[in-house]
Structure 1
Amino acid sequence: MKKTEENIFKFLMILSTIIISSTLFLLLYTIFSRGVGSLSWDMISKIPEGGFYIGKGGGILNAIIGSVYITFGSTLWGLLVSIPIVIYINVYAKKNSLLANITRLSYDILFGIPSIVYGAFGFAIMVYMGLKTSLLAGIITVTLMIIPILVRAIDEVVRVVPEDMSNSVYSLGGTRYETAKILLRQSIPGIITAILLSFGRAIGDAACVLFTAGFTDSIPTSLNQPAATLPLSIFFQLSSPIQEVQNRAYAAAVILTTIVLIISIAAKIASKNLSKNKI
């Protein structure tokens, strides 16, 4: 009986792996097969010319730069907010205290809120503060969206660090601040993974920046100017009835996928190297 159960679960695991791997392969095949042929240096190195979205010349450099600005800006701000929160609920607050549990529950709820709601919330803040669609508004809204991801991911990593390590620091006369530094150092690989998750969510989201960052054919030179993003560029091109423009949308998807792939590989290498140097 146990052998039968083991075989059944083994089969289900293999089947799940095949389904997930096949889905990923089909997704990548669809994007690259339709998009690679439309890729060109002009598309990567130029901003849209007049009529770009109806088949004219130009490229999507504005969307690439805008996505990079928003993603890196929001990820940096998210880390500056998330790490102190995680340190507090794991080091300074009492273990399993009401405050720590409420904080984790709150971020669990925020984690599941759709991005379009964050976009609407960001838009409401913009109206209240008298802001217009801009790079700054996009960064703020995306930051609000990825903070729950960063907090919960980093929190789970810090919590699995052996409690004996914290007790050892305290027994040697260490302060809570010194304990927090040790915990964070031990959690670096997990923190990098959390950054990667938030980066992927930030760079691939369209609904969150639709109301806040706006869209422009120019590259923003200040935080008060609107900024284009790759997801919105893809959306606008796919909405075109012109086949050539639709193919360029898949080419933009190839660029977006490649950026995420490069970041994933770099984060994996960094995580592996840093894990070897942990104290």
Structure 2
Amino acid sequence: MSNVKQRLLKEKIAKIAMQISGITITGSLFFIIGTILYKGLPHLTWEMVSQTPKGGFYIGKDGGILNAILGSLYLATVSTGLATLTGVPISIYLNMYVKQNSFIERSSKLLFDVLFGIPSIVYGAIAFSIMVWMGIRASLLGGIITITLLTIPIVVRTVDELLKTVPADLKNVTYSLGATRWETAQVFIRYIKPGIFTAILLAFGRAIGDVAGVLLTTGFSDNLPKYIDEPSATLPLAIFFQLSSPIPEVQGRAYASALILTFIILIIVICTHLLASKQQKHKI
């Protein structure tokens, strides 16, 4: 077989493999969404999203999951905001103020890579141990601290990769105009702003969907979250508790809760894309 035929054969095999991968991933996505819609939509009512659990809700009686919806939104929003305010400056410092390819730069990025891959249950266990040592009970504050630590590596590594896409000419031109490192960093932030929205989305999605990290630190409550030092329900835990029930009605509510969680994430995705598109028009 000639060299040209071998190259064409490899290209054809690679194309088929990519098509199969794309179909598989897309099919899996539609299967998951279809299953949630099929099993959860019949049980999705206005009562479920506007009321807190009544007595016996988890054995099939009246009530809703408003407490879990608000708890998840509070937890994810605050922790994502704290992770963004912490992670973006860390990335800027590692790329603008630390000498490239130095020991500090390499070891810091390796550390965040390791932290990125640690399971959330480990964060929850460590945070729970610290909370016990400090005498802090399971609460919304404990969950926020845990999820913030969990999402900081996501923001740091995502923004770090975005900063690598900034053209070297832009950096050189900015410095040639007499700009300081901080002023140059501001130019870089404006350049990668659409990507920062993506980093925020990734962190928010991880925060609102995590169950292992909040299982030990946030606790669970049927009441609306009012104070940061009180236990709070979250949607993933509400789904877990309902799905563990042997009662079909409660299991259907679990899929309805999953549908609500998916809908919230969908709204965040759409808003993020709209903001990113708007910023892209004004990009330097």
- Separation in 2 of the partners of 1:136 and 1:167? 44
Among residues 102, 111, 114, which one is paired with 1:106 in the alignment? 111
Question: Which position in structure 2 is the counterpart of 1:236?
Answer: 241
Report SS of the residue matched to 1:225: coil
What letter matches 2:223 in structure 1? S
- Separation in 2 of the partners of 1:99 and 1:128? 32
Unaligned runs of 5+ in 1: none
Deviation at 1:190, TM superposition (A): 1.0
- Separation in 1 of the partners of 2:129 and 2:187? 40
Question: Which position in structure 2 is the counterpart of 1:21?
Answer: 26
Root mean square deviation, CA, Å:
0.7
- What is the TM-score of this pair, normalised by structure 1? 0.99
Matches within 5 A, 1:80-229: 80-229=85-234
Q: Percent identity?
A: 54
Matched, 1:250 2:255: yes
Q: Deviations over 1:77-131 (max 9, x none)?
A: 1011101101101111112221111111000001110111011011011112211
- Separation in 1 of the partners of 2:35 and 2:72? 23
Unaligned runs of 5+ in 2: 1-5
Question: Which position in structure 1 is the counterpart of 2:66?
Answer: 61
- Separation in 2 of the partners of 1:261 and 1:218? 26
Question: Which position in structure 2 is the counterpart of 1:264?
Answer: 269
- Separation in 2 of the partners of 1:78 and 1:213? 18
Question: Which position in structure 1 is the counterpart of 2:11?
Answer: 6
What letter matches 1:8 in structure 2? I
Report SS of the residue matched to 1:215: coil
- What is the TM-score of this pair, normalised by structure 2? 0.97
- Separation in 2 of the partners of 1:132 and 1:11? 54
- Separation in 2 of the partners of 1:192 and 1:276? 15
- Separation in 2 of the partners of 1:44 and 1:275? 36
- Separation in 1 of the partners of 2:62 and 2:278? 44
What letter matches 1:137 in structure 2? G
- Separation in 2 of the partners of 1:166 and 1:128? 47
- Separation in 2 of the partners of 1:97 and 1:192? 29
- Separation in 1 of the partners of 2:96 and 2:133? 36
What letter matches 1:13 in structure 2? M
Deviation at 1:164, TM superposition (A): 1.4
Q: Deviations over 1:10-51 (max 9, x none)?
A: 000000000000000100011110000000000000000000
Report SS of the residue matched to 1:227: coil
- Separation in 2 of the partners of 1:111 and 1:254? 27
What letter matches 2:38 in structure 1? S
Deviation at 1:269, TM superposition (A): 1.2
Deviation at 1:234, TM superposition (A): 0.3
Q: Deviations over 1:220-252 (max 9, x none)?
A: 111111110000000000011100000000000
